[in-house]
Amino acid sequence: MPVTVFAAPAHADPAAEAADLRADLDTLLADPSVADSGVVVLDPVTGEELYSRDADSPFVPASNMKLFTAAAALEVLGPDHTFGTEVVIPAHRGKPRTVQDVYLVGGGDPTLSAADIDALAADVAAAGVKVVKGDVYADDTWFDDERLVDDWWPEDEPYAYSAQISALTVAHGERYDTGVTEVTVTAAAQGAAPTVDLGAAEGYMELDNRATTGAAGSGNTLVVDRPVGTNTIVVSGSVPQGAAPIAVLRTVDEPAGLAGHLFERALEEHGVTVRGGVEQGEVPDDLRTRVVADHTSPDLAEIFVPYMKFSNNGHAEMLVKSIGRETADQGTWAAGRVGVEEAVAGLGVDTSGVVFHDGSGLSRTDRVTANAVVDLLASTRDADWYPVWASALPVAGIEDPFTGGTLRARMVGTAAQGTVTAKTGTMSGVSALSGYVAAPGGGDGLVFSIVNNDHTGPAPLAVQNAIAVRLAEHLGHTAPVGTLAQGARVQENPESGELECSWELTC
């Protein structure tokens, strides 16, 4: 059903303008696609609520929970915070040619890449190490060994948005997906099995290829799965002969094991012979050690761009455990949740209606109120790290994914384009959009939160878009000249009913 889009009427009387705005938002929220909703629109300078509906009712937030995690991370860790990874060997005098074991020690870096691991191996070789008599150990004990939040859906585990959380994990691509590998399936001759490349996990994961190549022009029924409790990629279905290769991200079991596998392979490539194998284990407390290589991540301000623009669940959960490490010396969800809540409360936000169960919003136990979200958005404006926070939010209608993020295809050609910066949130039955509407000229504007729950059809994105556009028009913005309005151009999840949150989705 199309959503009515209102043009802001011109009034000399601000009270009349506000009344028209409230009436228009009431009409938009009466759309049949909308079920239960908490909505607040606030002037953060005057404190005036221009609109409020069920503002203190608890709602599942989806990825709007990342707003709380992000604010807490900036408050507790700081925008200059970095994450370290080290290579540790038993202490030696002079250059160690032969060592018993070598330890790759993770420090919660969400951006550690295969190239970074290769550079660490090169530094080990440059330090003089030629032989590892024993094993390569992957040490991820900076965090605990709880890999998934207790109420995440098991059927989501193969997908990147539900990757296992570890203090030693490999980030894929420029958007830093953690705990995954890229699986590429290439059609063969008709009737033959397609070829499957397991990417970085080649040699670490098992492959069960049950797929076949169908006739040219036939349907694509390919399924790439990692059954729960396994470290096996199962490929089934059919891919048409002559089709372009199909690449998907799939999670690995025990991300630290993959990091250790890549490190061992890189050592060998740099001329270091490893006689043992790859294990997961902690540097012994009684072992005298020497650091022979180290890597430092980009600072948190830089990491925040892929984290917030693309709604990275893995980053959110690693930040929660890092907050726990900073505040309680415990890299756990339990300690991190307490740290997040205390930091948010310290910003002046009433957290009495908020339930912090994870950092990403994938948990359906999380709860927020629209008032709490708006209070958070308003309070961050006074923080010294606000520029980092604001620049990391997706921007409506801006095509560049590192600017537009999950809003790059929404509100294109409307008054909200380039004006609305907001965090999205999408799961089955849950949708949210909360953020800022800048005033013309870049001055103070409006803060808003829209949290929709319990819709049974598609997410009410068109209604959210229309509300954001109406707020932009209320402030005096107009659509860019020569553009065609596209109020709700969004992509559907190609793989799962759970939309929280692969890189291709509005999350």
What's the Cα-to-Cα distance from 50 to each of 156, 399, 448, rounded to whole Å? 39, 30, 10
66 carries an active-site annotation: yes
Please tell me which residue in 113, 238, 297, 311 is annotated as part of the active site.
311
Beta strands in 65-211 (DSSP E): 84-90, 98-99, 102-105, 131-132, 136-139, 171-172, 177-178, 180-186, 195-197, 206-209
Residue 466: closest CA among 29, 49, 35, 154:
29
Q: For residues 420 and 425, give the distance between their C-alpha atoms in angstroms, rounded to a whole number.
A: 15
Residue 281: closest CA among 257, 317, 264:
257
| Stretch (H or E) spanning 424 | strand 420-427
Neighbouring CB atoms inside 10 A of 268's CB total: 13
What type of residue is 100?
Answer: Q
428 carries an active-site annotation: no
423 carries an active-site annotation: no
Please tell me which residue in 37, 66, 297, 360 is annotated as part of the active site.
66
Residue 47: closest CA among 491, 439, 298, 379:
379
Q: What CA dihedral angle connects 320, 323, 328 and 332, to 10 degrees?
A: 20
Instruction: Work out the burial of residue 330: count CB atoms within 10 Å of its CB; fewer than 13 is exposed, 13-18 middle, 19 or more buried.
Output: middle
Orientation of helix 333-346 relative to helix 65-76, angle to 10° = 80
What type of residue is 110?
Answer: P
SS (H, E, C) 382-407: HCCCHHHHHHHCCECCCCCHHHHHHH
Q: Which residues contact 139 (CB under 8 A, 6 or more apart)?
A: 88, 103, 104, 105, 106, 168, 256, 280, 281, 282, 283
Q: For residues 30 and 37, give the distance between their C-alpha atoms in angstroms, rounded to a whole number.
A: 10
Q: Which residues are catalytic?
A: 63, 66, 311
